[in-house]
Structure formats: structure tokens, C-alpha cells
Structure 1
Amino acid sequence: MAKAVRYNEFGGIDVLRVEEVERPVPGPGQVLVQVEAAGINPSEAAIRTGAVADIFPSTFPSGQGSDLAGIVAEVGAGAGGFAPGDEVIGFSQQRSSQAELVLVEAGNLIRKPENISWEVAGGLYVAGVTAWGAVHSVQLEKGETVVVAGAAGGVGSLAVQLARRAGATVIGLASERNHAWLRRYGVIPIAYGDGVADRIKDAAPEGVDAFIDTHGNGYVELALALGVAPGRIDTIADFAAAAKYGVKTDGGAEAGPGAEVLAELAGLIADGHLEVEIANIYPLSRVREAYTELEYRHTRGKIVLKP
């Protein structure tokens, strides 16, 4: 038996349970991973409430989570050269990573570099691939200016670093307590709230070329008001505005390029060119507390579960 996060109906944080489940058995091409760390993400909370059931339907009882890092416990036939004891980073496409033992397709795993912590590795996939997709979607060129809304969150904190690596001037919208952190990465911090458009214009007198919205709540409209072309606006949070104005929604990890980009990001972290901020670490048994913190939407970086 092994412990796993489960829920039996759509609802709030109170529907989450940590239950004993049968030990999974890997089939052909599958790897059984003993999870050392699993990230949590806002998209999982949206799926759990049923708010996006038309896009991501659930079968109950449902597990939860995509991000994971751990040690290979067992392999099925043809499992891509993995062997018990290998340290890996990967993702589950079955919403099951928040557990002690998880079945993963071998193609969704990469080997973990030795100098990446379990916490960073376990929280990398969703935020990392989403940030990578969002930055690439707005087609940044060296010397251009991009605004990132939610610049200190799990996705935003990586997007600003990737945008800086692309040679862009980056303006990060975040609460003032995160401004010093953003400056460490060469980001121009701007407080959100009343007057934000004027503050952005002051920081970018020659205009804004691109806009990445990781937060929602009117930032697509703000980008358009700043004169950014719809084709260079990407939101991962406001799909209604995207449909209304024709802006991009690239960056969702579910449709992303997967292990190839995960390996690229892990390499950047291992070489010291990218950092993943860990906001907090919770044991699996405190999964409700972890999501309570996440839903405050004031977290800098990633929240991670440790089975």
C-alpha cells in the first residue's frame, strides 16, 4: 500500500484526502517512481473545483498533480533504459503525482542532475514548461521590452528569468515585498493596482513590445491599452479575455513539448543560469494547508509537497 492524494467529488480544499492505495504495477513503457517531491499548481485547484470540467473532465476517485521528482522503484518492459535507483524528474499525465508511488510513462522522465535539489526538481515541470511556452509565444527579440504580470509567482518568477536570457528588458508586476527579489534578476519591478499603466509607461518611455499575463483580472485589457499587439500578448490565466480579443494562450503544460523542454530547463538550473524559488514545503499529509497557501496568490515561487 502507498499514500496518495485523492478526492471523490468536485469541491474546495476540504474534499482532499490522503488515502491508502494499492501499490501501482508498471506496465510496458512505464516506470514506478518513489516520489521525493511533487509541486502544486493553480491549475490543479481549478480542475478540483470543477471550474474547467468541460476542458479537463474528472473520473472519481481522482488523484492530483503533474510535477514530480523521485527515485525509480521498478520498471516495466521497454522503459527507456531506466533502472531501479535512478534519480529522475518528470510529470504524470494522469493527475497522480501527489503520492508516495507514481506510475509514469518513460518518455515523461529525464535524469535528475546531481546538483538540483529534490524540491526544485519536483516543482519544475508545470511552472517551467508553462513559462518557457509563454516566453517563446511572444517572440521576444534582444532589446525589446516585455511586461510580466504576476512576476514573482511560480510561473512568473521563471518567465522573467527566461525573458532576461532572451535579451529583453523585463518589467515585473508584483507586490512591493517582491521588488528587491526581482531586481536581483535585472527585472524592473512595478507595483500593481491603481495607476499601474502610468507606472509602466514611466518605466518604458519607448513603449511595451510584449506582455505575459500569469494572473488574469484585467491584464489582457491593460496590455492592449498599452498598445501591445494581440499576437504578442500571452495569458495563461484569462481565457475569456483571450477569446474576446484574440490574444495567445500558449504555455499550458498539458499541451507543451514535455520532456525535451524539461531537460533544457533542468540543464539551465544545473549550470546556474536559472533559479527556482521554493516558497514552502509541506508533508503530503498537509496537502490542504499547501493549497490554502497557494490560493492566497501571494506566494513567491513554488510550493512543494514531500511524501
Structure 2
Amino acid sequence: MARRWVATRWGGLDGWEFQEVELPQPGPGEVTIRVTAAGVNPADYKHVSAPRPGLELPAPVGYEVAGVLSAVGPDTEIASGGGAVGDAVVAFRIAGGYATEVIVPAADVFAKPPRLDDPAAANLLLAGSTASQMLHTVGVRAGETIIVHGASGAVGVSVLQQAAELDVHVIGTASEARFAEVRRFGGTPTAYGPGLLDRAREAGHGHIRAALDCVGTDEAIDVSLELVADRNRIVTIVAAARAAEEGFHAINGAQPESAAYRDSVRADLLALAGSGRLQVPVARTYPLAEAIEALTFLKDGHPGGKIALLN
């Protein structure tokens, strides 16, 4: 008997339950994963905070996992090819990852790079594919300088590393306590708060060509609009209302074009991480049974890295 977390009503975490469920055998095109680590993301609770089309209650929670194949459906291969019981794998854009075992489409499952431990592997693809799409959306080019608001967060850290691969220099906003993290991944840190516009201009020598917003504050948006005249070169993953008002890009994983793009880069991100050129800092782990505590920690503070639920 497997166990999984489900949201039994829309709203807060008090509507979540850790339930037992009996899993059938996987069908054609499906595999069963014994989950060893589940990635923890803000999307996990945001997507069940209110009714949305296509989602019914009780709703299983969790979009990305690392684990081991425990069953493989007939005539089925995983996305990276092959796939046998006992293989270590990563899965992303699945439903119900907060579980001891889960049946998922084989097309969303990839071999886990050996150098990635399970907590890091389980947290690579949601943040990584979001970061990749942000860079893609604003059309970054080698040699450019860009600004990233919230550069020390999970998506920001992935942006820093992927930008470095593209020979793009990043001015990254963060608290002074997080400057070392921005520098660690190749960015030039600058403190948010009063005077940010002038500090960013100075750090970028007046040549900031694109702005990526991971925080959604009015300050971040206002500074982006001042620094970057071309609205097509500004993107946010938080401030959709400001984006609609001001005419720049807002992306999220529920958009069909975003989902398609993020699916398309999963293998590339795993290869990058497997080579050691894309790291996933993990701040804390919790037992799966303590998912509510993990999400409360994520919501209430600045974890300083990713969080994983372990089985």
C-alpha cells in the first residue's frame, strides 16, 4: 500500500491529508516509481489554493521526484530510453510526487545522472526549466549583461548558472546576506532596496539589455522598466498583473506554450547537471510525513536553497 499527500479542499495546508492508496500495475506507456525524494516548490501549494480548470479534488500534490523504477508497463520505455526495474530515475511535470510510490507517464521519466544525489535530482527540473524559459523568452545573447531580481532564490540560482553557460553576465539582486551565493554562481550581486536603480546602472555600466523578475515586487518591476526600454526583453514569473498592464512577458507552467518549452529542455538540463555544470543547492530535507512542516518553512522564510521530502 502506497501513501501520498492530497489536497482535500481548496485553500491552505490544513486541507491536506496523508492517505493510503492501492496502486494498480502500470499500463502501456506508464511506469511506477518508488519515490526516494520529492522536490518542494511554491507551485505545490499554489496550484491547489483555489479551483482551476482540469483539476479535481482530492488532488495529489507534487510535480517532481527522484526514485527507482519499481514496475514498467508493457512495451514501455522511459524518455531517455530503456528503463528497467531498479533503475534510478528523475520525473518532472507529474502529478502526485509527494508519495511513497507513484504511477506516471514514461514520457516524463529520465535516467538520473549518477553524480546527482536524490534531493538535488528531485529539485532540478521545475526551477531549471523555468530559468531556461526566462532566458529564452528575453532572447539573451552571448556577451550581454542582464539583471535578475531574486538571484539567490531557486530559480535565480539556476538562471545564474545557465546564463554563464551562454556567456551572459548577470547583475543579481539579493540581500547582502546572500551576496556570496550570487557570486558563487557567477553573478555580480547588488542589494535591493532604495537606490537599486542607480546601483544596477553602475554595476551594469549602463548596458543592461534584459530583465528577469523572480520576486514580483513593485521595486523590481519599476527598475526593470527603467533599465530596459524593449518590453519584449522583460519577463516575470510572479507579477502577471503588472506584465499585462505594462506590456511585458509573464510566464507560468500552466500556459501550454510554457509547458511545451519546459518539457523540451528536460534532457538538456539533466545532461548539464550530470556534467557538474548545473548545481542544485539543497538547504534542508524532511521526512515525507512532514510535508506540511516543509511547506510551512518554505512559505514563511528564505530557505537558502531547495527543500526535499525523503522516503
Cα contact 1:293–1:299 (8 A) shared by 2: yes
Q: How does 1:154-169 map to 2 (within 5 A)?
A: 154-169=154-169
Query: 1:48 is matched with which residue?
Result: 48
Instruction: Say yes or no: does 1:292 pair with 2:293.
Output: no
Aligned match of 1:27 = 27
Cα-to-partner distance string for 1:187-233 (whole Å, 9 max, x where unaligned): 11111122211211121222310011111122233211223411011
Are the aligned partners of 2:7 and 2:16 in contact in 1 as well (CA < 8 Å)? yes
- The percentage of aligned residue pairs carrying the same residue is 37
Q: Map 1:136-285 onto structure 2 (within 5 A).
A: 136-218=136-218, 219-250=220-251, 252=253, 255-285=259-289
Aligned to 2:14: 14
Take 1:266 and 1:273, find their aligned partners in 2: how far apart are those partners?
10
Q: How does 1:109-128 map to 2 (within 5 A)?
A: 109-128=109-128
Q: Is the 8 A contact 1:132 1:251 kept in 2?
A: no
SS of equivalent to 2:178: helix
Question: Which residue of the partner structure matches residue 130 of structure 2?
Answer: 130
> Runs of 4 or more off by more than 6 Å in structure 1?
none
Which amino acid in structure 1 is aligned with residue 146 of structure 2? V
State the TM-score, normalized to the length of structure 2.
Answer: 0.92
Q: Structure 1 residues 253-262 or 295-304, which shifts more?
A: 253-262
Residue 209 of structure 2 contacts residue 233 of structure 2 at CA under 8 Å; is this kept in 1? yes
Q: 2:63 aligns with which of 66, 78, 84?
A: 66
| Unaligned runs of at least 5 residues, structure 2 | none
What is the number of residues matched between the two proteins? 303
Structure 1 gap ranges (5+): none
CA RMSD of aligned residues (A): 1.7
| Cα distance in 2 between the residues matched to 1:12 and 1:99 | 19
Q: Hey, what does 1:101 align to over in structure 2?
A: 101
TM superposition shift of 1:19: 1.4
| SS of aligned partner of 1:257 | helix
1:93-134, Cα deviation, whole Å (9 max, x unpaired): 3x3111011111111111111111111111112111111111
Supply the AA of the counterpart residue of 1:301. Answer: G
TM-score if structure 1 supplies the norm length?
0.93
Alignment deviations for residues 32-73 of structure 1 (CA, whole Å, 9 cap, x no partner)? 0001111111122211211xx34x553111111111111000
Distance 1:92 1:203, change over 3 A: closer
- Partner of residue 304, structure 1: 308
Give me the whole-angstrom Cα distance separating, in 2, the residues matched to 1:144 and 1:267: 25
Q: How far apart are 1:258 and its partner, in Å?
A: 4.6
Task: Tell me, in whole angstroms, the C-alpha distance in 1 between the residues paired with 2:295 and 2:69.
Answer: 27
